[in-house]
Structure 1
């Protein structure tokens, strides 16, 4: 039981839950009788996570990437959680750095700024200069955070075990969700993973047919100094994109500034569409603080610790889903959602199509330039959730990435026309799916397939005709899901036969009884009546026990 391990952290969690008034969890933690699980209001849930500390703030941020589990109100509230905590004193950070370095700190760095430029729940970042003069950023893990996360992970899994006993927990597979979150938290403790993600994003974005790769920057990793608890990367001098001053001088007109903003938003959309629909590996946290405008006019992607992956099949389905949204095609949206689903539960297709039709109907008369595509994606995920369709977790990251990107674009450039940005990219995506990156090679491969088919077809047709004429053709059919129907038909046939037998006994007994001249015939008639009565009674009892009298 969850409360048998009375450690201070557990008592603290219980106090926070009680103080914020989450009645359902209060009953669950005290072992009382609970009704159907109920989440606290979005504001209360946010307050609970903040009161529990940095690790649970991180958990709230991960939950904000799951619109397939939570409604839009929760996603919006949890998205506002800020991963900001008081900085750890330099004396403690210095101990961590020295333990991670192979050489003395004084020989490795010419200078390290003791004041952090940012402090989060997992790490804090300092600016430094290497011995060779290069400026770098040092991301240093907070002392003892691995122990705290291990304790909190055990508690999260304990609560998940309790909730998993309910219908709610089984429907949404709470244990697997908790396992997914704990793996994400554990992964953040290994900075070599983030370094690997950063390198892969930089390689992927270094070439593109959609934008100028020299205008997108991802920090270069110094692998000679990077460890699980210390990440050393190139220092990028800039400001958050929304705080950028694009004016070069007094000569810049309003139209010049609009053109610059349009070029930057177009660059971001094209870079992220390439990550999502071509590379299948994307930066999953493009909030305003992670998009920097550098002093030289380029745009940088920071903090690559949270990434998402999409396999080619999912990429193709999502591309078609974008087109279905543009066409306001509810039936196609339903079909594509089922293709994405990893749930084995039966779904009423007509109901799903009606829900999508009702959702998309509000956009019938709307201008495509005014449609909020990320909001539509959120609504599609919510319809799937209402129909108990469980989508892969990467769909949450996908939707959250689009929402963050669209939010930054609209704030940075209110004049942006999203449809004009997306339309040529969708067209090119469909061309790539049809022809691939090398159209000539694809056409040649198709021609070879057609040639092979044309050579083999006459021989296959001749073989088929020979088998038909020689009566050696056999069909092997396997129909699934008929076992239950077969058993039902067998039961019905047996009962019908049994009923005919009972009726025959009764009729025989009646005929013998009406014409009985001796005591022996009367005795036979009585035995037949008794046998028919017993068999008929047994038949009625079996029908009643089966529960199928109606």
Structure 2
């Protein structure tokens, strides 16, 4: 338990931050209070608490910002740009760590390293460096001792998750599983070789495309021989964040509007390929991670956060987009249940009505006026209201679309998203229908049809034979059939007892009316007594079952 008297120094620090910011619900948990329904503070207070608690909790907030299926939109928006207020680590400590990771003198690998960090985050910081061959690189170094802080804080977070799991909300949204997901994610961030692998995979996936010119898109190259779990060395790409780039200086042969349109088209097409074709996408496309390079190319940086979609989910999401365009609430409900992680009890009529209310406001809008990322956030809200738990990768999908759409509109306010999406969707539907190789798909379908045609007569003959010989058996499984059987048995037993009681009373009455001896009178009294006892027992059993009505 989190009783205040049992706190370590770190736990006392957490309590002080919570007390100082007035989060009453968490204060109750930390001091051993009752774990009733979770009550979040305002988005501003929550953001402030997480920043004050330090790097691990900032990462927790960043993870929560990717889960619009769990949190309302105002919380997601507040946590999106959450950054830890951490100063860069002193160069002397960074130098020692680099030396340890390299296992040899720094000067044998790097001609120079800029001591002043150009960027500092909660897990690591980035320095500009030059290799001995003169190649400029970006050197990402892990903050010394951060692994110890992470190990301590994630244990506390899991304990808190176990307390919240005692509530109905904690059970519905499996808070412990969410905590475990966060623990896995932050431990993965401590291994820079994973980010290197993600970067390499995105680089390979985007090196070929029929939707855009791969030469116009750049993913930094990984220098594997100078990369370790605590040291990541990447190609240095010279440029500026997309919203700060001076486009006329990049391409003087084209006007600014034309350049912006081409870059936005490239951005959209590259992400549509990642999401709907590759199923492996950069999940953090905020303006600071998308650069316009000095040579006119577009670059995607910081590939540490990625999302994955399997082919089935890709197809369902594509159909969901069509259902939204058609304003088909019933189809949206069916697709939501197909996406759900497990068979959860859902009132389909209520779910459909919620979708109908959501889609009604789009009746008089053209497709070009619909904000698709906002629509998907609303889909997650409908799922949350109906206590439907969706896979966590859908949160990343929604967040990626929202970031992408926000960057595109900020860079080119005149952009028409429908014009960007329409040609891609037509090609995407064709691909989902025919596959990458239409001839191969056609041959596979022909083989399946041939196999079906050969098996069908034999199976029909077998079925008719079994029916004619009366040996056909059906195995049918009906939900709650056992409870129905018990209920019928109980009803039959009570009916039998009622008939027995009535028979005893009638028999006693007949004997009593014609009794001519003391023995017959005694027998009549015995029958009346037995009938009364059985009747009282029957009434008591009905009352105890709670099913009198």
| TM-score of the two chains, using structure 1 as the length reference | 0.97
SS at match of 1:347: coil
1:83 CA drift (Å): 4.3
Q: Helix, strand or coil for the counterpart of 1:121? A: coil
Q: Distance in 1 between matches of 2:327 and 2:407?
A: 25
Q: Say if 1:29 and 1:490 are closer, same or farther in 2 by CA, change over 3 A.
A: same
2:487 match: 488
SS at match of 1:106: helix
Alignment of 1:121-136 (within 5 A): 121-136=122-137
3-state SS of 2:492 partner: helix
**Residue matched to 1:81:** 82
Separation in structure 1 between the aligned mates of residue 159 and residue 466 of structure 2, nearest angstrom: 64
- Measure how far apart 1:300 and its partner are: 0.7
Match of 1:185 in 2: 186
Name the SS of the counterpart of 1:224 in structure 2.
Answer: helix
Q: 2:325, 2:367 within 8 Å by CA — same for their partners in 1?
A: yes
- Partner in structure 1 of residue 408 of structure 2: 409
Q: 1:344 to 1:470 in 2, by over 3 A?
A: closer
**Which segment is superposed worse, 451-460 or 490-499?**
451-460
Cross-structure match for 1:139: 140
* Counterpart position of 2:451: 452
Q: What is the TM-score when the length of structure 2 is the normalising length?
A: 0.97
In the other structure, the counterpart of 2:431 is 432
Partner of 2:234: 233
| Within-5 A mapping of 1:103-114 | 103-114=104-115
**SS at the partner of 2:243?**
helix
Give ranges in structure 2 of 5+ residues lacking alignment.
Answer: none
Q: Secondary structure at the match of 1:282?
A: strand
- 1:439-494, Cα deviation, whole Å (9 max, x unpaired): 01111111122222223322333333333333333333333331111111111111
Equivalents in 2 of 1:353, 1:157: separation in Å?
Answer: 36
Corresponding residue for residue 512 of structure 2? 513
Distance in 2 (CA, whole Å) between partners of 1:169 and 1:250 is: 54
Q: 1:202 to 1:77 in 2, by over 3 A?
A: same
Count, aligned residues: 548
Shift of 1:33: 4.0
Provide the rounded CA distance (Å) in 2 between the counterparts of 1:205 and 1:251.
27
Q: Distance in 2 between matches of 1:430 and 1:549?
A: 58
Residues 288-308 of structure 1, C-alpha deviations (whole Å, 9 max, x = no match)? 000011111111110011111
Tell me what 2:529 maps to.
530
SS at 2:40's partner residue? coil
Q: What is the match of residue 380 of structure 2?
A: 381
Partners of 2:543 and 2:466 lie apart in 1 by 52
Measure, in 1, the Cα distance between the counterparts of 2:503 and 2:418. 78
Alignment of 1:65-104 (within 5 A): 65-83=66-84, 85-104=86-105
What secondary structure, in the 3-state scheme, does the structure 2 residue paired with 1:242 have?
coil
Tell me whether 1:393 sits opposite 2:392 in the alignment: yes
State the Cα distance separating 1:222 from its structure 2 match: 0.8
Which residue number corresponds to residue 310 of structure 1? 309
**Cα separation, partners in 2 of 1:541 and 1:477, compared to 1, 3 Å:** same
Query: What displacement does 1:56 show?
Result: 1.4
How far apart, in 2, do the equivalents of 1:131 and 1:250 lie?
33
> Quick check: 1:84–1:119 contact (8 Å CA) kept in 2?
no
Aligned-residue offset at 1:512: 1.0
4+ residue segments displaced more than 4 Å: 249-253
1:166 deviation in Å?
2.0
Given that 1:109 and 1:128 are in contact with CA atoms closer than 8 Å, whether structure 2 keeps it comes out as yes
Q: Deviations over 1:404-442 (max 9, x none)?
A: 000000000111110111122222222111110000111
Cross-structure match for 1:117: 118
2:291 aligned partner: 292
The answer (yes or no) to whether the contact 2:250–2:296 under 8 Å persists in 1 is no
Partner of 1:155: 156
Q: Corresponding residue for 1:335?
A: 334
Distance 1:406 1:34 in 2: 39
**Residues 310-331 of structure 1: per-residue CA shift (max 9 Å, x gap):** 1111111111111111111111
Q: Distance in 1 between matches of 2:85 and 2:434?
A: 47
SS at match of 1:43: helix
Unaligned 5+ segments in structure 1 are none
For the 8 Å contact 2:251–2:259, the answer to whether it is kept is: no
- How far did residue 44 of structure 1 move? 0.8
SS at match of 1:243: coil
Name which of structure 1's ranges 266-275 and 77-86 shifts more when overlaid on structure 2. Answer: 77-86
Distance in 2 separating the partners of 1:284 and 1:7: 36
Q: Distance in 1 between matches of 2:6 and 2:139?
A: 38
Contact 2:51 2:84 in 1 (8 A): no
The answer on whether the counterparts of 2:212 and 2:269 sit within 8 Å (CA) in structure 1 is: yes
Q: CA deviation at 1:34?
A: 5.5
Return the alpha-carbon distance in structure 2 between the equivalents of residues 250 and 448 of structure 1: 53
**Do the aligned partners of residues 84 and 265 (structure 1) sit closer, same or farther apart at CA in structure 2, a change above 3 Å counting?**
farther
Mark the CA change 1:425 to 1:251 in structure 2 (over 3 Å): closer, same or farther: closer
Counterpart position of 1:443: 442
Q: CA deviation at 1:57?
A: 1.4
Quote how far apart the aligned CAs of 1:102 are: 3.1
Per the alignment, in what secondary structure is the counterpart of residue 225 of structure 2?
A: coil
Alignment of 1:216-227 (within 5 A): 216-227=217-228
- Give the SS at the match of 2:128: strand
Greater Cα offset, 102-111 or 91-100: 102-111
- The separation in 1 between residues aligned to 2:72 and 2:136, in whole angstroms, is 43
